[in-house]
């Protein structure tokens, strides 16, 4: 059982000191590596790891081909300003090869997990001589995985998987007692700019969690474009998280007086504190209509846009 530390109860200064000690003790005089995606959790763990290890923590950004628009350049830029060097690794081919032909949600997650930890990271860790991978798993990831709701890509021990045996390196998870609100508080205390610690959550399986059915490069690109439109439109909404989802079904539409058997995008926008429960934001119709107009005019092939009005539970926030 992992003991939860709530955001309210966390003494950030003491927490940072403790975790810095733990990380130093685990890594000894060796090297550690961490993968930064630019999300709140991995950004916070990067700052914590650098506080503990300085240059002995190597930070890499894995370009898996399923990240948001402009993400690699943006994230490297943010961290450069914070004095953290980030190396970008192009692994797009590996990920798309692994996702090819897979439509089942859990199989997609498993393909991403195996590619990330075994193929891509296995190589990087081996080459660098690092012993540990530092990662930002949080308590909500563990809860949902153990409950069998969604296998979060970064949870192993609680499923009886020993990373040392499975992948050949140790995984350190200093944020595992926290939930999202606690991580934000910690990220702020560690000096992350608001653009990062207030960033809306983004899932480990990235845009593939927002494609129903096969995540091909083309379908990911459609989702990426629609997602960018939704993020721009809702950035001042104050909502916990918002996203665009590509459906598998096609629907009959019309364009220039011709029938178009087109694609369907679903927009979701959530109110939540810690992602355990969530309700849809009561967005105005003016905003929703503007989003629909922009998506149908700028994203090729999309003829239908819907807005989700169901809560979590029984929904979940991501779609697959
Ligand atoms: P769900 O969809 O489980 O998401 O309600 C809860 C929160 O966790 C974020 N998140 C993930 N979701 N797989 C997911 O399905 C993951 O690996 C993952 N990592 C993070 C999700 O974006 C939402 O904020």
Q: Is residue 3 part of a domain?
A: no
Q: What is the pLDDT of residue 44?
A: 97
pLDDT for res 160? 83
Residue 317 falls within a domain, yes or no?
Answer: no
Average pLDDT over residues 3-28: 97
Among residues 127, 162, 197, the one where a domain terminates is 197
The Å distance, Cα 204 to ligand 1 centre, comes to 7
Residue 145 sits in the same domain as residue 217: no
Atom 22 of ligand 1: nearest residue by CA position: 203
- Helix or strand holding residue 99 (H, E): helix 92-99
Q: Per-residue pLDDT for 81 more than 90?
A: yes
Give how many domains the chain has, as a whole number: 2
CATH at residue 292: 3.30.300.10
Considering only the C-alpha atoms of the chain, give the largest distance between any 2 of them, rounded to a whole number of Å. Answer: 69
Atom of ligand 1 nearest to the CA of 41: 20
Q: What does the pLDDT read at residue 144?
A: 80
Atom of ligand 1 nearest to the CA of 200: 24
For residue 242, pLDDT over 90 is answered with: yes
Q: Is the dihedral of CA 78, 81, 86, 91 positive or negative?
A: positive
User: Binning pLDDT at 50, 70 and 90, where does residue 169 land?
Assistant: confident
- Minimum-distance ligand 1 atom for the alpha carbon of 241: 24
For residue 56, the CA-to-ligand 1 centroid distance in Å is: 30
- Give residue 193 CA to ligand 1 midpoint distance, Å: 23
Which residue is it, tokens 């943006």? 74
Rounded Cα gap, residues 320 and 131, in angstroms? 33
- Look up the CATH number of the domain holding residue 45: 3.40.50.620
Q: DSSP characters for 217-280? A: HHHHHHHHHHHHHHHHHHTTS--SEEEEEE-SS-EEEEETTEEEEEEEEEEEEEE-SSSSSBEE
In short, whether 204's Cβ falls inside 6 Å of ligand 1 is yes
Q: What is the pLDDT of residue 49?
A: 97
Residues 223 and 297 in one domain: yes
pLDDT, averaged across the chain: 94
Q: What is the pLDDT of residue 102?
A: 97
For residue 171, the surrounding DSSP H or E stretch is strand 170-172
First-last CA distance in the chain: 27
Neighbour tally for 213: CB within 10 Å: 16
Both 36 and 171 in a single domain?
yes
pLDDT of residue 131: 86
Given 173, 197, 221, the domain boundary residue is: 197
Query: 129, 162, 197 — which closes off a domain?
Result: 197
Distance 318 CA to ligand 1 centre (A): 6
Q: Do 250 and 155 reside in the same domain of the chain?
A: no
CA 52, CA 40: separation in Å to the nearest integer?
A: 19
Q: Note whether residue 191 is domain-resident.
A: yes
Question: What is the model's pLDDT at position 111?
Answer: 96
Distance 236 CA to ligand 1 centre (A): 22
Is the CB of residue 105 below 6 angstroms from any atom belonging to ligand 1? no
Report d(CA 195, CA 21) in Å as an integer.
28
Atom 13 of ligand 1, nearest CA residue: 152
State the DSSP H helix or E strand holding residue 48, giving kind and residue range, or none if neither. Answer: helix 40-53
What three-state secondary structure class fits 49? Answer: helix
Q: How far apart are CA 305 and CA 246, in angstroms?
A: 10
DSSP letter at 152 equals -
203 ligand 1 Cβ < 6 A: yes
Which pLDDT band holds residue 259 (cuts at 50, 70, 90)?
very high
317 lines ligand 1 (CB under 6 A): yes
Distance CA 34, CA 43 (A): 10
Query: Quick one: 166 and 235 in the same domain?
Result: no
Q: Give me the pLDDT at residue 163, please.
A: 87
Q: For residue 224, is it within any domain?
A: yes
Residue 157, pLDDT > 80, answer yes
pLDDT (0 to 100) of residue 168: 84
Give the pLDDT score at 231.
98
Ligand 1 contact via 316 beta carbon (within 6 Å): yes
Has residue 154 got a pLDDT over 90? no
DSSP state for residue 211 in the 8-state scheme: B
pLDDT at 159: 83
Per-residue confidence (pLDDT) for residue 145, from 0 to 100: 84
Question: Given pLDDT bands bounded at 50, 70 and 90, which one contains residue 126?
Answer: confident
With a 6 A CB cut-off, is 144 part of the ligand 1 pocket? yes
Q: What are phi and psi of 305, to 5 degrees?
A: -130, 130
Gap between the Cα atoms of 234 and 27, Å rounded? 41
Q: Which atom of ligand 1 is nearest to the CA of 318?
A: 2
Is the model's pLDDT at 150 over the cut of 90?
A: no
Q: Which atom of ligand 1 is nearest to the CA of 205?
A: 17
**Cα 200 to averaged position of ligand 1 atoms, centre (Å):** 11
Per-residue pLDDT at 141: 87
Q: Quote the domain boundaries for residue 77.
A: 12-197
Q: From atom 17 of ligand 1, which residue's Cα is the shortest distance away? A: 152
Q: Are residues 16 and 137 in the same domain?
A: yes
Q: pLDDT (tens digit, 9 = 90+) per residue, 19-30?
A: 999 999 999 999
CA distances, 66 to each of 58, 115, 190 (Å): 22, 13, 28
Does the pLDDT of residue 121 top 90, yes or no? no
Which of the listed residues 178, 201, 239, 274 should we mutate to test ligand 1's pocket, taking the one with most ligand atoms within 8 A of CB? 201
Report yes or no: 163 and 170 within 8 Å, Cβ to Cβ.
yes
Residue 30, in any domain of the structure: yes
Ligand 1 centroid–CA 281 distance in Å is: 18
């Amino acid at each position: 059982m992992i003991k939860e530390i709530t955001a309210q109860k966390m003494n950030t200064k003491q927490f940072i000191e403790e975790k810095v000690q733990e990380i130093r003790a685990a890594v000894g005089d060796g090297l550690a590596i961490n993968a930064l995606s630019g999300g709140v959790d991995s950004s916070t763990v990067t700052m914590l790891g650098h506080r503990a290890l300085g240059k002995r923590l190597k930070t890499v950004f894995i370009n898996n081909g399923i990240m948001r628009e402009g993400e690699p350049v943006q994230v490297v830029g943010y961290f450069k300003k914070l004095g953290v060097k980030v190396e970008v690794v192009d692994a797009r081919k590996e990920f798309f090869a692994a996702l090819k032909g897979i439509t089942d949600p859990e199989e997609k997650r498993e393909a991403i997990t195996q590619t990330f930890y075994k193929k891509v990271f296995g190589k990087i860790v081996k080459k660098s001589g690092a012993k540990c991978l530092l990662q930002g798993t949080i308590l909500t990831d563990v809860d949902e995985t153990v409950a069998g709701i969604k296998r979060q890509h970064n949870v192993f021990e609680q499923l009886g998987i020993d990373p040392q045996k499975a992948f050949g390196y140790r995984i350190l998870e200093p944020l595992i007692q926290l939930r999202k609100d606690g991580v934000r508080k910690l990220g702020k205390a560690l000096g992350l700019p608001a653009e990062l610690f207030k960033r809306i959550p983004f899932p480990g399986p990235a845009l593939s969690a927002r494609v129903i059915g096969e995540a091909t490069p083309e379908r990911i690109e459609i989702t990426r474009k629609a997602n960018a439109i939704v993020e721009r439109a809702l950035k001042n909404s104050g909502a916990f998280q918002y996203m665009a989802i590509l459906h598998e079904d096609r629907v009959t539409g019309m364009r220039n007086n011709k029938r178009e058997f087109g694609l369907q995008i679903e927009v979701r926008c959530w109110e939540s504190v810690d992602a355990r429960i969530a309700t849809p934001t009561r967005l105005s119709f003016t905003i929703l209509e503007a989003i629909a107009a922009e998506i149908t005019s700028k994203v090729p092939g999309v003829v239908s846009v819907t807005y989700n009005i169901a809560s979590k539970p029984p929904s979940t926030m991501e779609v697959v």
